[in-house]
């Protein structure tokens, strides 16, 4: 156990020694590593200092300063780092192991560190001085860049489309000039302060600054000249656009005038309104004259601007062309206004003429309407007297119509408007033609009515004759239809009267034929009462035929009655004779003696001769009876009875 404990203690000592050896080796390793790193850092700084780079610009110089101060790097060596290395070296020396080697490295490192610190301080100062110059150059570059920016703005062509944009460009240019003035003051401040302060710090870098300063001064002079030139251009552009705006304002006014006051719109409703419009149009002329004078002054101003532009004609071709077109358009607009006023004046005069024409048209229309109303009267008279009165009125109407002054005035005035080529020529022509057509139609209607009245007159004359003849025929038919022939009294006288009656009928045949001819003529001439006339003629013909038939019938009846009367008389004579014969034959006297017998025989012989002689009369009576029977005599019954008796 003691042996084991002894070995355990030995093991612990051995382990402790090994641990101390590891600690020492670790410290040596760390010391050597740190020394190597610091020496590497020192070499890097020495190379940087040896290169003596002060930077191309402010940013580069700032980066070198940061690099010199190890800003943003993983490795940075300072007094604390050197102190730690020295402390570690002291620790290793105190351990009495490799103390010479450690001490040599420490001394060498400290010497290099001290030497480097002075070099770094000098190099840092050079960088700081260079940084100020770089800052100056940066400020100068910034000034120059701003000048270049302003140069681009100042050299930009003025392309203002209107007055507002031109004035806006002018305001921008004024702001630009103020900016340039501020840049100039800033440059003077830099030149007066920083340049004088830094002039001796780094002559090489300051040479570059002097070049920049000279360049800036040249640019300032050029920019000042450009600003002055552009200012003149902008002022001229403002004047030019003010001129264009004045022209535009005049054109707008002209457009409004052309639309509202010079347009050809027919608004007047009567002659008075047309006269008022003409008067108002005269006021428009006064307004046009005032504007025309202003426009003349404006044109003269435009011509002066044109002369200014032509001083540099090559550069101002577009503006010259635009201004010339504007002046030409303005002249054309002025001519258009003058012509529009003249056209409107003529138009308003024609409007007044149109109202005059319409007034004449209304008068003619009213007059024609009244006359047409007169002709719409369908009254053609109810008798001849009424027709004659209507004819007198119609003749007076025609006389009042012939050469009517209203229509003559209308036609004359219309011809004047035709010659003037009036704007409403179509309607005027239509109304004029309408009035003339109505007049011609009225004349035609008057002629037609005249013809109708004449026809009516002829009709009533015809009707008068017709009524006379109709009455005469009716009366004669009554006479002809008289059955006086049935009475045997005065039959011979009746026959004579009837013969006279028929002679009267024949004597009036000419009147009837004349009436029929008159009626036929009216029908052939298409009389408006042709149907009535034809009916009347047919009636007359019928009555005339009836009269002739009745007269013939009565004549026949009278003849038959007279024949019957003679028959009756013959029968009566024979009857008396027969009675006498019968009385003689009924005598019982046969004679008393021969002489008386002979006398009786002689008488009987005479009687037989008498009978024989009367046989012819008997046969005649039989023949007449047979004739009466065949002819269906109207007294056949009486005749047969008489014949039988």
CATH classification of the domain holding 64: 1.20.58.60
DSSP 181-217: HHHHHHHHHHIIIIIHHHTTT-HHHHHHHHHHHHHHH
For residue 25, pLDDT beyond 70: no
Cα angle for residues 35, 21, 95 (degrees, 5° grid): 65
Helix (H), strand (E) at residue 391: helix 384-401
- Split into its structural domains, the chain has a count of 2
- The residue range of the domain holding 644 is 587-645
For residue 74, pLDDT beyond 60: no
Last residue of a domain, one of 261, 281, 313: 261
At residue 238, the pLDDT reads 83
User: Which of 131-145, 344-358, 517-531 is predicted least confidently?
Assistant: 131-145
Residue 205: pLDDT band (50, 70, 90) is low
Phi/psi zone of residue 381: left (φ > 0), alpha (ψ -120 to 50 degrees), beta? left
Last residue of a domain, one of 209, 242, 261: 261
Residue 484: pLDDT band (50, 70, 90) is confident
At residue 412, the pLDDT reads 84
Judge whether 451 lies within some domain.
no
Greater pLDDT, 370 or 65? 370
Judge whether 47 lies within some domain.
yes
User: Which of 73-87, 138-152, 506-520 is predicted least confidently?
Assistant: 73-87
pTM summary value: 0.48
- Listed residue (329, 342, 324) closest to 288, CA to CA: 342
Task: Report which listed range, 55-59, 147-151, 158-162, is most confident.
Answer: 147-151
- Report the C-alpha gap between 102 and 83 in whole angstroms: 15
Compute the mean pLDDT over every residue in the chain, rounded to the nearest whole number: 78
Proportion of the chain above pLDDT 70, given as a percent: 85
What mean pLDDT is predicted for residues 554-558?
81
Judge whether 163 lies within some domain.
yes
What mean pLDDT is predicted for residues 547-567?
80
Judge whether 176 lies within some domain.
yes
Judge whether 174 lies within some domain.
yes
pLDDT digits (tens, 9 = 90+) for 364-423: 888 888 877 777 777 777 777 887 887 788 777 777 766 577 778 878 888 888 888 887
For residue 166, pLDDT beyond 70: yes
- The CA-atom distances, in angstroms, between 283 and each of 48, 272, 277, 348, 551 are 96, 17, 10, 14, 101
For residue 325, pLDDT beyond 80: yes
For residue 96, pLDDT beyond 60: no
The number of residues making up the chain comes to 645
Last residue of a domain, one of 261, 289, 323: 261
At residue 97, the pLDDT reads 55
At residue 586, the pLDDT reads 74
User: Which of 160-169, 306-315, 635-644 is predicted least confidently?
Assistant: 635-644
At residue 610, the pLDDT reads 75
Look up residue 239 and give its two tokens. Answer: 């004047």
At residue 88, the pLDDT reads 73
Judge whether 645 lies within some domain.
yes
At residue 226, the pLDDT reads 81
Judge whether 408 lies within some domain.
no
What mean pLDDT is predicted for residues 220-229?
84
Judge whether 23 lies within some domain.
yes
At residue 21, the pLDDT reads 58
At residue 572, the pLDDT reads 73
At residue 400, the pLDDT reads 73
């Amino acid at each position: 156990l003691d042996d084991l404990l002894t070995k355990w203690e030995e093991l612990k000592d051995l382990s402790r020694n090994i641990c101390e050896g590891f600690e020492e080796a670790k410290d040596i390793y760390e010391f050597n590593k740190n020394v190597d790193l610091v020496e590497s850092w020192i070499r890097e700084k020495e190379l940087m200092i040896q290169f003596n780079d002060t930077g191309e610009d402010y940013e580069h110089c700032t980066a070198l300063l940061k690099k010199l101060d190890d800003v943003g790097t993983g490795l940075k060596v300072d007094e604390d780092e050197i102190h730690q290395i020295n402390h570690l070296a002291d620790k290793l020396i105190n351990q009495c192991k490799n103390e010479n080697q450690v001490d040599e490295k420490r001394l060498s490192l400290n010497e290099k560190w001290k030497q480097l610190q002075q070099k770094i301080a000098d190099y840092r100062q050079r960088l700081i001085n260079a940084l100020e110059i770089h800052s100056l150059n940066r400020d100068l570059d910034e000034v120059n860049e701003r000048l270049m920016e302003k140069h681009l703005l100042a050299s930009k062509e003025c392309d203002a489309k209107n007055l507002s944009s031109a004035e806006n460009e002018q305001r921008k240019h004024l702001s630009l000039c103020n900016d340039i003035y501020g840049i100039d003051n800033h440059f003077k401040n830099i030149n007066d302060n920083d340049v004088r302060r830094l002039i001796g710090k780094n002559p090489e870098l300051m040479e570059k600054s002097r070049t920049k300063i000279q360049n800036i001064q040249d640019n300032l002079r050029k920019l000042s000249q450009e600003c002055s030139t552009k200012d003149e251009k902008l002022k001229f552009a403002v004047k030019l656009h003010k001129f264009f705006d004045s022209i535009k304002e005049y054109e707008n006014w002209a457009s409004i005038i052309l639309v509202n006051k010079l347009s050809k719109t027919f608004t007047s409703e009567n002659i008075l309104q047309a006269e008022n419009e003409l008067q108002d149009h005269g006021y428009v002329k006064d307004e046009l004259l005032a504007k025309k004078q202003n426009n003349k002054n404006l044109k003269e101003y435009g011509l002066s601007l044109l002369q200014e532009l032509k001083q540099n004609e090559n550069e101002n071709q577009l503006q010259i062309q635009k201004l010339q077109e504007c002046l030409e358009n303005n002249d054309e607009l002025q001519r258009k206004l003058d012509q529009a006023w003249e056209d409107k004046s003529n138009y308003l005069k024609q409007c007044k003429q149109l109202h005059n024409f319409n007034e004449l048209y209304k008068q003619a229309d009213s007059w024609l309407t009244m006359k047409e109303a007169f002709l719409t009267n369908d009254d053609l008279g109810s008798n001849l007297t009424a027709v004659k009165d209507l004819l007198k009125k119609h003749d007076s109407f025609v006389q009042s119509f012939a050469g009517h002054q209203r229509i003559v005035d209308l036609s004359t005035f219309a011809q004047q408007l035709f010659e003037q080529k009036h704007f409403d020529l179509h309607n005027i022509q239509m109304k004029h033609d309408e009035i003339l057509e109505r007049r011609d139609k009225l004349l035609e209607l008057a002629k037609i009515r005249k013809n109708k009245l004449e026809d009516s007159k002829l009709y009533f004359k015809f009707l008068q004759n017709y009524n006379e003849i109709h009455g005469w025929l009716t009366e004669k038919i009554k006479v002809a239809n008289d059955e006086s022939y049935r009475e045997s009294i005065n039959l011979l006288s009746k026959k004579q009267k009837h013969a006279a009656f028929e002679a009267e009928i024949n004597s009036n045949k000419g009147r009837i034929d004349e009436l029929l001819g008159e009626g036929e003529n009216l029908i052939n001439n298409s009389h408006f009462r042709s149907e009535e006339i034809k009916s009347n003629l047919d009636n007359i013909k019928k009555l005339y035929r009836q009269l002739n038939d009745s007269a013939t019938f009565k004549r026949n009846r009278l003849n038959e009655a007279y024949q019957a009367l003679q028959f009756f008389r013959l029968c009566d004579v024979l009857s008396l004779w027969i009675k006498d014969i019968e009385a003689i034959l009924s005598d019982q006297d046969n004679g008393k003696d021969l002489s008386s017998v002979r006398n009786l025989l002689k008488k009987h012989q005479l009687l037989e001769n008498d009978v024989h002689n009367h046989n012819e009369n008997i046969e005649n009576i039989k023949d007449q009876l047979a004739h009466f029977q065949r002819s269906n005599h109207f007294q056949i019954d009486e005749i047969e009875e008489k014949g039988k008796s």
